[in-house]
Amino acid sequence: MRKNIALLAGGYSGEYAISIKTAETIEKNLDDTLYRIFKIIITKDEWYHTDGGSKVMVDKNDFSLTINGEKIIFDCVFIAMHGTPGEDGRVQGYLDMLNIPYTTCNSIVSALTFNKSYCNKVVKAFNVVNIANSVHLIKSEPYSMGAILDELKLPVFVKPNESGSSLGVSKVKNVEELLPAIEKAFKEDNQVLIEEFIEGRELTIGVYKANGYLNALPTTEIVSKNEFFDYEAKYTPGVTMEITPAEIDNSLKEQLENKACYIYKHLNCRGIVRMDFILQSSTNKLFFLEVNTMPGQSENSIVPQQVRASGRTLKDFYGELLEDCIKNHSA
């Protein structure tokens, strides 16, 4: 008997369109002989599934759909939302209350990793990887340019503390650019993170758990024609070169995999997670950038590239994630 799977897409953030593309890739690569897939779009106003061109609203009391008189209860939820409420722990908390399994990190881990500053502090305490110096600003609290510049050396990255796809991110090289960059970031979020720029190679690696084993996917090196891997570089063909697998030696490959798996395990992650690092040019030290608990998965995104480079098919990969989620929930 086929299992009922809710595929959640959309969300409230500027990453809505990217989420729809991620969900399309996942839906296309889920085995419909094993699963009945119901794509549910979440917006601020409504949660709905489209059936034959008409909207069927989700009953939020038990997260069910009723289609042609059939009440559909879900065996698992495949979350494909970037940003709020699918990546910051809100949907996860709701599903936990209803005891429905889902494919991502739990609500606490999702909330922690979504907050870049808090996540950096926790990862720094693991003492397995370097973290760039940073300053954390909160909108309601006063701050001064002088105090920031006493703490950090230019250039710096100014970014919303809770946002993805590099929305609202600026690279600041001159003092005059700092305040406009902070104001730009505050338009995306009530908290801002200012980090010292680390010159080096950007490397990113997917990690997931299935069948009781922690697995690292092949590493990708990101080489952007833009100043940094911004929104345009991420989603405009030809602006960025993504080399999968990255051209790195075995020692660095092993170091990346070990550090990423250690962080995954000690943050208590679940599902597919992508971690970003910088290999500093001057020291050859690895610096941690962030954890993406719902990495982009449109057809040519980094995680699908890494899955294919590992010799797997996306159909097998997504099926494994679903079955692991269902099995561990019922165990």
Q: What is the CATH number of the domain that holds 143?
A: 3.30.1490.20
**Is the confidence at residue 255, as pLDDT, over 90?**
yes
Which residue segment(s) compose the domain that 181 sits in?
134-196
**Is the confidence at residue 186, as pLDDT, over 60?**
yes
**Is the confidence at residue 309, as pLDDT, over 60?**
yes
Q: What is the DSSP letter of 72?
A: E
| Short-list 152, 157, 167, 246, CA closest to 199 | 157
Q: Which two tokens stand for residue 49?
A: 């599934």
Work out the angle at residue 17's Cα, subtended by the Cα atoms of residues 35 and 62, and round it to the nearest 5 degrees: 45
Kindly report the average pLDDT of the chain as a whole number: 92
Q: What is the pLDDT, as a whole number, of residue 230?
A: 47
Whether the Cβ atoms of residue 204 and residue 222 lie closer than 8 Å to each other = yes
**Is the confidence at residue 71, as pLDDT, over 90?**
yes
Q: What is the pLDDT, as a whole number, of residue 112?
A: 96
* Same structural domain, 175 and 211: no
The sign of the torsion formed by the CA atoms of 126, 128, 133, 136 equals negative
Q: Which two tokens stand for residue 189?
A: 């979020």
Q: Which two tokens stand for residue 87?
A: 């990546």
Q: Which residues contact 79 (CB under 8 A, 6 or more apart)?
A: 8, 86, 91, 92, 102, 103, 104, 294
Q: What is the DSSP letter of 125?
A: H
Of 230 and 80, the structure prediction assigns the larger pLDDT to 80
Q: Is 124 helix (H, G, I), strand (E, B) or coil?
A: helix
Q: What is the pLDDT, as a whole number, of residue 164?
A: 55
| Residue 238: band (very low, low, confident or very high) from pLDDT cuts 50, 70, 90 | low
Q: What is the pLDDT, as a whole number, of residue 237?
A: 56
Of 330 and 107, the structure prediction assigns the larger pLDDT to 107
* Same structural domain, 244 and 259: yes
**Is the confidence at residue 232, as pLDDT, over 60?**
no
* Same structural domain, 122 and 250: yes
Please state, as a whole number, how many other Cβ atoms lie within 10 Å of the Cβ of residue 130: 16
* Same structural domain, 7 and 43: yes
The span from the CA of 137 to the CA of 156, in Å, is 14
The model's pLDDT over 28-47, given as tens digits with 9 standing for 90+, comes to: 999 999 999 999 999 999 99
How many domains is the chain partitioned into structurally?
3
* Same structural domain, 117 and 238: yes
Q: What is the pLDDT, as a whole number, of residue 20?
A: 94
| Residue 236: band (very low, low, confident or very high) from pLDDT cuts 50, 70, 90 | low
